[in-house]
Structure 1
Amino acid sequence: MCGIVGAVSTRNIVPILVQGLQRLEYRGYDSCGVAVYDTDAIATQEGPLRRARSTSRVAELLSQVQADKVVGTTGIAHTRWATHGAPAVHNAHPHFSHGPHTIDGLTHRPGRIALVHNGIIENHDQLRAELEAKGYVFASQTDTEVIAHLIDSVYDGDLFEAVQQTVVRLHGAYAIAVFCRDEPHRVVGARAGSPLILGVGTHAAAGGELFLASDAMALAGVTDQIVYLEEGDVVDLQLGRYWITNRPAEGGEHVRIEPAQRPVRTVQAHSGAADLGPYRHYMQKEIFEQPRAIADTLEGVAGIVPELFDGQGRDGATGASAWRVFQEIDNVLILACGTSYYSGCTAKYWLESIAKIPTQVEIASEYRYRSSVPNPRTLVVTISQSGETADTLAALRHARRLGMEQTLTICNVATSAMVRECKLAYITRAGAEIGVASTKAFTTQLAGLFLLTLALAQSRGFLDDQAEAEHLKAMRHLPTALQAVLALEPQIIAWAQEFAAKENALFLGRGLHYPIALEGALKLKEITYIHAEAYAAGELKHGPLALVTSEMPVVTVAPNDTLLEKLKSNLQEVRARGGVLYVLADADTRIERAEGMHVIRMPEHYGALSPLLHVVPLQLLAYHTAVARGTDVDKPRNLAKSVTVE
């Protein structure tokens, strides 16, 4: 989603800001911009604040700043995913304040505050009306511009103090970076509900430079010394020094400020993962990286023990004991969104059938807005690729407020807010996932959730040594099995050529594979813009069968499990209505090719772990259909990679 980069230095930081934005492009955006304090422009009519914005890609922004010779030693930059206001240059960040002091006839010159913002300010309408009454001029439809004007309205020579006074009035989520015309070499940041990090510069000749960013990847190659700001932190960056305070609390005429100590961590945020190599798109590359990603995720797993999920503590100290937590719980609540939600739906089948523990799966964005019945003996499991998903974090905090303190996350980013806020964690090792449509993050989540299932089964007395050995053997064989599935790509390309001409599709699955059908439909809609729905196959006759025609392809996941014969009956229901079936069948299912029945044979039946194999052809089908339709595979319209707003 939106990305932030900011810097205070003695060297020209525009190349660093733009490069940081390029490394955040994978998150999704529809406009971008940069603003700097340019000491060379002080004497010009333009003034020291200079800005470039674009609704094109960051590469176009780079050309613009080079052509306009935008340089500066203090600055901020942003990629925006539109929430308030259409994708347009006047809505792009950074925003400048335009207060009464800047009005000169009909000309509104840039004010003294420059600001970028991730998140959503829920009380922006009230604040806008208040500021307009004071004479502030709004040049955009964004909620963000309200923050710039509000800081300007309370500014009295100290930017840090002005930001402290401002954030107590903001309702909603924000990560901001701001600098002021009147205070060169100073940037102030604050966060609540959206991630923000501080980077401590290591460039010897740069005079103690400091950075802000929404993701450590933005600073890859610039610094590996990272401070993760906590919820409510406000940070002041000046050359060679910084300080952090907790969220200020209102207290009479003044705000109360408490200093905060946050550790500096060495973080290797590799940008090499962004190299495409021989692949046409990142999504294709990441689909084919899945055997390696699964192998890495399982590396070091010699046996199934609860300790695999032990917490590490926020500062690297010994964290919570999974064994103790597992002994204290009697049910599981899974909270997630999108693709991660479907991995949780799959895990429900495993947890209840193997670990014999009641499991509920909730869409995170819905869970915290309904009345529920909390149980303190619940293990709350969150699933997130980035570990910064706003809805899932909010749902986690809601569950904790309800008294459910036993928390565990399956996450791909060890330094994320999700990991820091949960007692227990299993870190998947998918590596950086650039494509917006998740692939390897999903399969590694499934691997982590299956390990969790086995660990819970062991702690509850439902996993003997023989069963453990069999499950581990199957898991270790997954990379090889996935390679065999990837070899089916030529057959899937043939299907994709037919799908490219369609505008609607149905996906069917039963039992453990119903969530895989849901995930397959999601992938197709995300990147091809074909309307796709998924159903439990037994539900066909309860309504969806009315949609079936020869123009409605029906994709079916058909493993050789206990529901196979039921599923075959569902397939006949489709054929009898003239529907065209595309079936991913295990080799021993005796589902044969025929008129209106396209069949791809899976290399082997894989039992409980079959979802990890069956989802891969669905990923490839979505990918090659998108390529055939000419869509922007890695950056589908209207979507973002890391959803950090509600």
Structure 2
Amino acid sequence: MCGIVGYIGWQEAAPVLLKGLKRLEYRGYDSAGIALLNGTISVMKQKGNVSGLETDTAKLREKMPGATIGIGHTRWATHGDPSDRNAHPHLNAAGDIAVIHNGIIENYSALKQELISEGYLFISDTDSEVLVHLIDWLWKKDASLDLESATRTALRHVDGAYGLCVISSREPDRIVVARKGSPLVIGIGEGEFFIASDAAPIVEHTNKVVYLSDGELAVVTKEGYSVKTIENVEQEKLVTELDFSLEKIEKGGFEHFMLKEIFEQPSVMHDVMRGRVRLEEGRVCLGGIEDYLDRLKQAKRIVICACGTSWHAGLIGEYLIEEFARIPVEVDYASEFRYRNPIVGKDDVVIVISQSGETADTLAALRTAKEKGALVMGICNVVGSTIARETLCGMYTHAGPEVGVASTKAFTAQVIMLYMLAMALSKGRTISHDEIILNLTELADLPAKADRILNLDGQIRDIAERFKDAKNFLYLGRGYNFPVALEGALKLKEISYIHAEGYPAAEMKHGPIALIDEDMPVIFIATRDSTYAKILSNIEEVRSRKGRVIAIASEGDKEVARLAEHVIYIPQASGPITPLLTVIPLQLLAYHIATLRGCNVDRPRNLAKSVTVE
């Protein structure tokens, strides 16, 4: 959730830290701070975003010229409100240890009371401050400890999740980092090392990285790094090369990352399918699951676990796999999966979906499914992420870095992956070779159709202008487009702060219709498919109650134009393909409504990109 960055090397640390924090600001932006180490530790931190920290950091650099070791943090508040005193880094009373922390210390209250009884004073309301005092206390109690062993001992007392960086003027040549549940990556440069909660701040300096696994602690110096478990067992780590460039995490002339990522979707569709859709052969090639394909086909049941937007993608995956492969599918909120003692076993397949590959709830579902003997498969975007490492098999979406907090291109990439999976599970079992070719041809035509929808951006902005002051929205769809209604409503809520709900269109009569009046915009996804006639009847029901209808319809549909106040047309497509097209105008509509309301779409309030705490 929070952003962590650290540097040790030959460069001045402050500019590296500040630039890194800006690249991580989408992970947390309630407050920000840095600590520099040059003989002593100096800290500058404050409520607000990173740009507000720059002026004060300039003063800090004057105070500590030449500091080549430092740590920085952007906070997403959990314990304690966004404020200067709750910002990281946290210091011990002597000011010679500094800690930054991502995660939640679940037993912080008991630890805090114990430390207070030992005479420690707490300045903040955070759970994280416990860590710096606990390390200090243990180090003072046992003179034989060093910073590494004091940190290791402290973490043995801790319940919960952490991504942690610690520096001390007592040992001014190192940074100690540790991970449990919250990601950390070490970038390997020439005589310098970079630490971050994801690769975004590292890629402009080096493409060589090491990902820490849960329960690992590393000591990083200018000369190198060593990794051990919390139990002090040395670990050999694989050096990974990053597969994206600096340009991919820049705005590229767009006003916001979110808009850039919406417009990247045609190229992302190409990238997701490249080398996988073998149209001339009538098959898909999914190398990450090839060795397990027979077992996947024989599954008695597939359970998809995900959160938020990925959960909506999973719902579409349920429709796709059941229709084409005829394997029963359930879709579970990952946050609920392990708490209801789910019935899964060796004959089941559990698919976990996460853009970051680090979502805490989804990781917990993954581990529960493994413990129960299920085959666990992952779909994620980030190479080397925890989900990628802990699943037995899986697929990368290759959507590129997604910086906007509200997910857009990751959703379309996940749905395409699930579509290709459905084709792979169907081949030779439930649908013919000719049907496979027909479906894959439609898939291959997607990027061009998505481009045509993006050309409607101006029209969609005009519609947004008319409805930007609405207090509520209702999104309705049927079949494959019911999950798209949920996703459209979520996008509007996330970035414009307008209350919105998505429903299956037929459910409108079972309660939501009571809300319909002349002030209620209702968005219908009304493409020509097997439920078309039914959804026209639903539109009539809303019109008769003076609701304001916005429709997403298939090109050439004059019937919908007669009924709706506004119509956004998408190219013709079969039902299973339409979610990949109908979602794009809903993303654009949410974006334009939010920007017209003056909202920060890339950093919506209270949200963080990678949810690494429960």
C-alpha displacement at 1:305, in angstroms? 5.3
Determine the structure 2 residue equivalent to 1:342. Answer: 312
TM-score (norm 2): 0.95
- Structure 2 CA distance, aligned partners of 1:453 and 1:191? 36
- The Cα offsets for residues 583-633 of structure 1, whole Å up to 9 and x where unpaired, read as 111135542434763222223233311100000010011011111111111
C-alpha displacement at 1:225, in angstroms? 2.0
1:63-462 equivalence runs, <5 A: 63-68=55-60, 69=62, 70-71=64-65, 72-98=67-93, 102=94, 110=95, 112-155=96-139, 156=143, 157-202=145-190, 208-248=191-231, 257-303=232-278, 308-310=286-288, 321-404=291-374, 406-458=375-427, 461-462=429-430
- Structure 2 CA distance, aligned partners of 1:434 and 1:92? 23
Kindly indicate whether the alpha-carbon contact (under 8 Å) linking 1:506 and 1:554 is maintained by their aligned counterparts in 2. Answer: yes
Q: How many correspondences in the alignment? A: 604
Kindly indicate whether the alpha-carbon contact (under 8 Å) linking 1:579 and 1:596 is maintained by their aligned counterparts in 2. Answer: no
Kindly indicate whether the alpha-carbon contact (under 8 Å) linking 1:30 and 1:55 is maintained by their aligned counterparts in 2. Answer: yes
Kindly indicate whether the alpha-carbon contact (under 8 Å) linking 1:506 and 1:552 is maintained by their aligned counterparts in 2. Answer: yes
C-alpha displacement at 1:268, in angstroms? 4.4
- The Cα offsets for residues 533-581 of structure 1, whole Å up to 9 and x where unpaired, read as 0111111111110011110100000111111111111111111111111
CA distance change for structure 1 residues 328 and 262 in 2, over 3 Å: closer, same or farther? farther
- The Cα offsets for residues 408-455 of structure 1, whole Å up to 9 and x where unpaired, read as 112111221111111222111211111111111111111111001111
- Structure 2 CA distance, aligned partners of 1:342 and 1:327? 23
- Structure 2 CA distance, aligned partners of 1:382 and 1:636? 26
Kindly indicate whether the alpha-carbon contact (under 8 Å) linking 1:410 and 1:445 is maintained by their aligned counterparts in 2. Answer: yes
Kindly indicate whether the alpha-carbon contact (under 8 Å) linking 1:28 and 1:436 is maintained by their aligned counterparts in 2. Answer: no
- Structure 2 CA distance, aligned partners of 1:277 and 1:218? 17
Give yes or no for the alignment of 1:550 onto 2:550.
Answer: no
Give yes or no for the alignment of 1:606 onto 2:574.
Answer: yes
What's the RMSD between the two structures over aligned residues?
A: 1.6
Determine the structure 2 residue equivalent to 1:251. Answer: none
Give yes or no for the alignment of 1:18 onto 2:43.
Answer: no
Counterpart of 1:82, as a letter, is: A
Counterpart of 1:552, as a letter, is: M
Kindly indicate whether the alpha-carbon contact (under 8 Å) linking 1:560 and 1:588 is maintained by their aligned counterparts in 2. Answer: no
Give yes or no for the alignment of 1:5 onto 2:5.
Answer: yes
- Structure 2 CA distance, aligned partners of 1:269 and 1:129? 46
- Structure 2 CA distance, aligned partners of 1:268 and 1:446? 22
Kindly indicate whether the alpha-carbon contact (under 8 Å) linking 2:297 and 2:425 is maintained by their aligned counterparts in 1. Answer: no
- Structure 2 CA distance, aligned partners of 1:440 and 1:10? 38
- Structure 2 CA distance, aligned partners of 1:596 and 1:330? 44
- The Cα offsets for residues 148-186 of structure 1, whole Å up to 9 and x where unpaired, read as 111111113501110110111111111101011211111
Counterpart of 1:147, as a letter, is: L
C-alpha displacement at 1:368, in angstroms? 1.2
Kindly indicate whether the alpha-carbon contact (under 8 Å) linking 1:219 and 1:269 is maintained by their aligned counterparts in 2. Answer: no
Give yes or no for the alignment of 1:517 onto 2:460.
Answer: no
CA distance change for structure 1 residues 269 and 597 in 2, over 3 Å: closer, same or farther? closer
Deviates more, 1:232-241 or 1:548-557: 232-241
Counterpart of 1:87, as a letter, is: P
- Structure 2 CA distance, aligned partners of 1:310 and 1:490? 40
- The Cα offsets for residues 31-66 of structure 1, whole Å up to 9 and x where unpaired, read as 111101123xxxxxxxx1101112232222222111
Counterpart of 2:27, as a letter, is: R
Counterpart of 2:502, as a letter, is: A
- Structure 2 CA distance, aligned partners of 1:335 and 1:79? 29
Counterpart of 1:308, as a letter, is: L
Kindly indicate whether the alpha-carbon contact (under 8 Å) linking 1:220 and 1:268 is maintained by their aligned counterparts in 2. Answer: no
CA distance change for structure 1 residues 582 and 216 in 2, over 3 Å: closer, same or farther? same
Kindly indicate whether the alpha-carbon contact (under 8 Å) linking 2:244 and 2:401 is maintained by their aligned counterparts in 1. Answer: no
- The Cα offsets for residues 259-294 of structure 1, whole Å up to 9 and x where unpaired, read as 111112222452212332332211111111110110
Deviates more, 1:555-564 or 1:271-280: 271-280
Deviates more, 1:589-598 or 1:438-447: 589-598
1:637 alignment partner, SS class = coil
1:130 alignment partner, SS class = helix
| Structure 2 residue ranges without an equivalent (≥5) | none
C-alpha displacement at 1:369, in angstroms? 1.1
| Structure 1 residue ranges without an equivalent (≥5) | 40-47, 103-109, 203-207, 249-256, 312-319
- Structure 2 CA distance, aligned partners of 1:209 and 1:589? 61
Determine the structure 2 residue equivalent to 1:60. Answer: 52
Kindly indicate whether the alpha-carbon contact (under 8 Å) linking 2:27 and 2:76 is maintained by their aligned counterparts in 1. Answer: no
Deviates more, 1:471-480 or 1:367-376: 367-376
1:219 alignment partner, SS class = coil
Deviates more, 1:143-152 or 1:367-376: 367-376
CA distance change for structure 1 residues 560 and 592 in 2, over 3 Å: closer, same or farther? closer
Counterpart of 1:58, as a letter, is: V
Kindly indicate whether the alpha-carbon contact (under 8 Å) linking 2:536 and 2:560 is maintained by their aligned counterparts in 1. Answer: no
C-alpha displacement at 1:200, in angstroms? 2.1
C-alpha displacement at 1:192, in angstroms? 0.6
- Structure 2 CA distance, aligned partners of 1:595 and 1:479? 30
Counterpart of 1:546, as a letter, is: A
Deviates more, 1:469-478 or 1:611-620: 469-478
Counterpart of 1:74, as a letter, is: I
1:429 alignment partner, SS class = coil
Determine the structure 2 residue equivalent to 1:253. Answer: none
C-alpha displacement at 1:28, in angstroms? 3.4
C-alpha displacement at 1:309, in angstroms? 4.3
- Structure 1 CA distance, aligned partners of 2:574 and 2:44? 54
- The Cα offsets for residues 104-127 of structure 1, whole Å up to 9 and x where unpaired, read as xxxxxx2x2100001001000000
Deviates more, 1:59-68 or 1:14-23: 59-68
C-alpha displacement at 1:336, in angstroms? 0.5
Kindly indicate whether the alpha-carbon contact (under 8 Å) linking 1:73 and 1:185 is maintained by their aligned counterparts in 2. Answer: no
- The Cα offsets for residues 498-526 of structure 1, whole Å up to 9 and x where unpaired, read as 21110101000011110000000001111
1:533-548 equivalence runs, <5 A: 533-548=501-516
Kindly indicate whether the alpha-carbon contact (under 8 Å) linking 1:306 and 1:456 is maintained by their aligned counterparts in 2. Answer: no
Deviates more, 1:506-515 or 1:157-166: 157-166
- Structure 2 CA distance, aligned partners of 1:380 and 1:260? 29
1:89 alignment partner, SS class = coil
CA distance change for structure 1 residues 425 and 237 in 2, over 3 Å: closer, same or farther? same
1:471-482 equivalence runs, <5 A: 471-482=439-450
- Structure 2 CA distance, aligned partners of 1:573 and 1:268? 51
CA distance change for structure 1 residues 381 and 584 in 2, over 3 Å: closer, same or farther? same
